[in-house]
Amino acid sequence: MKAKLKPMKNRVFATDNAVLVGFGMTCRIVGSHHSARDIDTTEFRIIWDADWLVNIPDECGRMDKDKLREFIDRVFKMNKGREMAVEIFLHDGQYAGV
């Protein structure tokens, strides 16, 4: 017989309310990081941009540099993430095909 587990967001890991709030926010961020709906915190924007830094080679591999620049400007939420994407994918040359 399989044990039925409670969803992660319903499990109690500590009695400290700050820990529980932080865990709940972490679950929201992870659960929303592909849609960007209903959440707009600094922590979420950092995860969003980091995820795009990893996914640009797969998602945008056939874009020319002008289109990629437009994409970066439109999709990235933080200045630092945008700057990193430009440096890595447009100036570095390591990803010349991107």
The pTM assigned to this predicted structure is 0.65
| Ranges of the chain whose pLDDT falls below 50 | 1, 5, 10, 12, 14-15, 98
Per-residue pLDDT, 83: 95
Domain boundaries, the chain: 8-91
Per-residue pLDDT, 95: 56
Per-residue pLDDT, 98: 46
Per-residue pLDDT, 17: 52
User: Do the beta carbons of residue 75 and residue 50 sit within 8 Å?
Assistant: no
Alpha-carbon gap, residue 91 to 77, rounded angstroms = 20
Per-residue pLDDT, 39: 75
Alpha-carbon gap, residue 26 to 80, rounded angstroms = 21
